[in-house]
Amino acid sequence: MTKTSHVNLEKWQQVSKNHFSKITPYYDQGRDFERREIWMEEISRHTPIEKDDWVLDSGSGTGLLAVHFAEQITGRVLGLEPSWSMLQQALQKKQPANLGWLQGISETLPIANNTLRAVFLSQVWHHLEDQDQAGREFFRCLKSGGGLFIKTYSHAQIKARWDLQFIFPELMPLMLHIYPDVPGYESLLKNIGFTSVEFQSTVRENFLLPSQLLTILRKKAWSMFSYLTPEGTAEGEARLETLVASGDEPVPHSEVHLLVIALK
């Protein structure tokens, strides 16, 4: 694996693998402010989901979105997740009858060819060990006309993040390294055989209190915080503490996403 002066990818992979089992109890807290209802609406707009259709939420984590999807559609939803503790957390949530769970990874799906109507990934793609292999597995399991939906960040969206610019600048090169940008998705997915690849950006203005960010940092509820060096953590913490002490005024944390839509 390549290593540059700015980015230690081996460490990211380690962090990514071990992180979620450790932070499971705090995970939902770090995602509280995000909207959940818009993603199934987007999926259904591109690939209408009928009663007997299957939708896979790959890397379903604590089930925040999979549970919501199952409530929104009459089709069936499957959450696939490698971390046992994240799956356990998902099982604590309401369990609609059309929802099921699998422990596994995206790179080797225990699913027959041409069975899924849609595959959705939310903030998972940059954690995959082998993105090309996972893309091929999704393609194999999707029905013709079915869609792969990847919720992620574009490089422009990462560069515009207030927290990365002003509180955790150390993380900016890592984020730009581990998240593919638009052309990377386009060539990888077209190469695999997807017939069309489209991109949609969503933006909703949002704010967090510095004290909320401080809690998220201390609990390491976002995986990127596990990558901070002790110095980067101390600096970020000190900057946030200063903001808390001077009134804890809200700081920008817009809810921005890139949705990659690839149809088979």
- In the complex, minimum distance from the CB of residue 163 to ligand SAM, in angstroms, rounded to a whole number: 16
Task: For residue 152, state whether it binds ligand SAM (rule: CB under 6 A).
Answer: no
Q: How far apart are CA 262 and CA 125, in angstroms?
A: 14
Is residue 109 within 8 Å of residue 79, measured between CB atoms? Answer: no
Residue of the chain from 43, 61, 75, 263 that contacts ligand SAM (CB under 6 A): 61
Q: Of 162, 130, 175, 183, nearest to 251 (Cα)?
A: 162
- In the complex, minimum distance from the CB of residue 104 to ligand SAM, in angstroms, rounded to a whole number: 7
Half-sphere exposure (CA, 13 Å, Cβ side) for 8?
A: 10
Residue of the chain from 23, 43, 56, 65 that contacts ligand SAM (CB under 6 A): 65
Task: For residue 83, state whether it binds ligand SAM (rule: CB under 6 A).
Answer: yes
Is residue 196 within 8 Å of residue 263, measured between CB atoms? Answer: yes
Task: For residue 135, state whether it binds ligand SAM (rule: CB under 6 A).
Answer: no
Task: For residue 31, state whether it binds ligand SAM (rule: CB under 6 A).
Answer: yes
Q: How far apart are CA 242 and CA 239, in angstroms?
A: 5
Q: How far apart are CA 159 and CA 156, in angstroms?
A: 5
- In the complex, minimum distance from the CB of residue 195 to ligand SAM, in angstroms, rounded to a whole number: 24
Residue of the chain from 46, 47, 53, 58 that contacts ligand SAM (CB under 6 A): 58
Q: How far apart are CA 44 and CA 181, in angstroms?
A: 25
- In the complex, minimum distance from the CB of residue 21 to ligand SAM, in angstroms, rounded to a whole number: 8
- In the complex, minimum distance from the CB of residue 76 to ligand SAM, in angstroms, rounded to a whole number: 18
For 59, phi then psi, to 5°, come to 80, 50
- In the complex, minimum distance from the CB of residue 59 to ligand SAM, in angstroms, rounded to a whole number: 3
Task: For residue 89, state whether it binds ligand SAM (rule: CB under 6 A).
Answer: no
The residues in 197-236 that bind ligand SAM, with binding defined as CB under 6 A, are 223
User: 3-class DSSP state for residue 18?
Assistant: helix
Residue closer to ligand SAM, measured from CB, 28 or 237: 28
The residues in 101-130 that bind ligand SAM, with binding defined as CB under 6 A, are 105-107, 122-124, 127-129
User: 3-class DSSP state for residue 84?
Assistant: helix
Residue closer to ligand SAM, measured from CB, 175 or 243: 175
Sign of the alpha-carbon dihedral angle for 92, 137, 113, 52: positive
Q: Give the angle subtended at the CA of 123 by the CAs of 117 and 113, to the nearest 5°.
A: 25
CA distances to 119, 184, 204 from 189, rounded to whole Å, are 14, 9, 27
Residue of the chain from 82, 100, 232, 252 that contacts ligand SAM (CB under 6 A): 82
Which parts of this chain interact with ligand SAM (CB under 6 A)?
A: 20, 31, 58-61, 64-65, 81-83, 86, 105-107, 122-124, 127-129, 223
